[in-house]
Every structure is written in C-alpha cells, then in structure tokens.
Structure 1
C-alpha cells in the first residue's frame, strides 16, 4: 500500500481577500506561515518518506515547514508541475464573487483560458500515478492547491466535485492498493488556526 497526503498551502492575502490566484505566485501571509507550522507539527507525529510540492512559492514554503518538522532536508523537496494550481485564465486576479460561478460551471466561453476540470483531473491523476509507481509502499506528502486536491478527489471518486471547499493547510488522505486509489479522509483541519484574520 502506498499512501498520499495532499496538503493545501497556508493562507495568502489573496485567499483572505477572496481573489482568484491561479498560477499567480502569491506568498503566504502571516497567518499562512502559522498554519504551515501547525500543519507541519501535525504531520510530524507520523513517519513520512517523500515530500513533493507544487513549484509555486506558497506551496514550497508550506512544504519547507513540513520538511523541517519531519526531519527532511529542504533540498529533498521534489517540485512537480503536475500539482500546480489550476490555470484560471482571465479569472486570475479577479474577485471571487464576480467570476467564480462561471469557474464552477467549468465554462471556458465565459472564462477564456480556464483549464477544464477534465484537463485538471488528467494531469493530477498522472502525477499521483507517477508517485505510486516511483515510490511503491511509501508514505508521500504532496503540498499543493485547492483545485489540485479537488481534481485528485474527483478523479478517484466522482461524488467529490470542484465545489467542495478546501480549508487552508488541510490534509487529505488517499491510499493506493493494488491498482486502485481509495480516499480515506478529506479536509482534515481541526489542528489549523481559524482562517479569519484581522485586516
């Protein structure tokens, strides 16, 4: 059995301001650093073998906290483009309330340049399959983004959709047994400080 733990990055200012980030390289804010530390402390209670991260700064910086807490050298964090955030096209940098309905409808006509849900699922599933093939029997942390996690969950079980909310710094557990992925836990975040922050 190979185990994956998909961790969302800590909060950024754009998360707090409800602005769509996509692949804009927005860093963690003060609360995001705290959440990353809390996630690291939680995950360090178990043994892990591999740490992977999206190449975006907010994911890499969250992964650095986890690596340190779990006894890994920073240089061992593997960057994998397949776990980067969704390409939101013209919606990137826009306030969520004005455009997100079209994003949730997976509507490339209303959101030019939007990566489709099917495209997203295909690349994230490819990344997961690569990891279980490369590190069979290992326990792997993947630090990534809300839509990457939604893509993973919905690729494994279509009762999960891109409309499921993901807490900042939450953990999501997927096992690979035989030739199947099985979801074990979703949005585990009781150990993470509330995302409400004073502006």
Structure 2
C-alpha cells in the first residue's frame, strides 16, 4: 500500500512577519533550519522511500534535511509550489486592508479578497494541484 505524508516547510522571516509568500523564494531562517532538523530526527523510525518537494528554497531545504537524515532521494517539482499570489506577495494583512478611518488610503488592488477567503481558496487550489500532479510524479 502506498502511504503519502505531507510536511510543511520550516519557518521563514516572512512567516514571522505574517507576509504572504506564494511563489516568492524566501529561504528558511535559523529557526526554520532547526525545525527541519528536529523533524528529521522525529521521522527517524518511519520508513520512507522518496521525498517530493516544491523547488522553492524553503521547501527544498526542509526536504533535503529530512532526506539526508533518512538516506532517501528528493525529487523537485514546481507544481508543488504554493499558490502564486501575485501583487499580494510580500504584504501583510494590515497592508492589504483599507482602514475605515482613512478614506484617502490607496484602494486595495483589484482581486484581493479577505484573508478567510484567500486561505480557503489557497487550500483548495493546493489540494487540486497535488492531486493533479500525483499520478505523474516519478
């Protein structure tokens, strides 16, 4: 039986700042590197044959750390990247919301939605991308 596990990359400085990352290639920070090492240690007794990873450095480094500890290869696939968030990438929620008390504040760019809708859409899109890529990963 094939078993598939999902691992999120370690933390980045943009995670700490609550900035949208998307396709922007933000590397792991020191804490993220420690998280990857800790997870690799936790997975020592699990039997893995292969690791697939996004080609973005934060995911690639997390996967590489785990793969090295387990002695398995990593295959990179750009289809496993986070959703491309366009103009929203690099911004915080505060930078995307027009305060009611400041009517002269620049309007939100077209297509930017609430964080709740964005999260829901992101999860649905990522699940769809993984399911589309799964049969062709080899």
Give the structure with the larger helix fraction: 2
Task: State the partner residue of 2:3.
Answer: 3
Scaled by the length of structure 2, the TM-score of the pair is 0.77
Which has the larger strand fraction?
A: 1
Aligned equivalent of 1:71: 71
> Based on CA coordinates, which of the two structures has the bigger radius of gyration?
2
Q: 2:42 matched to 1:36?
A: no
Contact 1:25/1:56 (<8 A) preserved: yes
- Tell me: CA distance 1:118–1:5, structure 2 relative to 1, closer, same or farther (3 Å): closer
Work out which of the residue numbers 98, 102, 105 in structure 1 matches 2:117: 105
Q: Is the 8 A contact 1:82 1:126 kept in 2?
A: no
Instruction: Say which of 68, 72, 79 aligns to 1:82.
Output: 79
1:53–1:59: 8 Å Cα contact kept in structure 2? yes
Shift of 1:128: 2.6
Change in CA separation of 1:96 and 1:129 when aligned onto 2, cut-off 3 Å: farther
Aligned alpha-carbon RMSD (Å): 2.4
Give the deviation of 1:20 after TM superposition: 0.8
Structure 2 unaligned regions, length at least 5: 98-112
Question: 1:16 matched to which residue of 2?
Answer: 16
Does structure 1 conserve the Cα–Cα contact (< 8 Å) formed by 2:93 and 2:115?
no
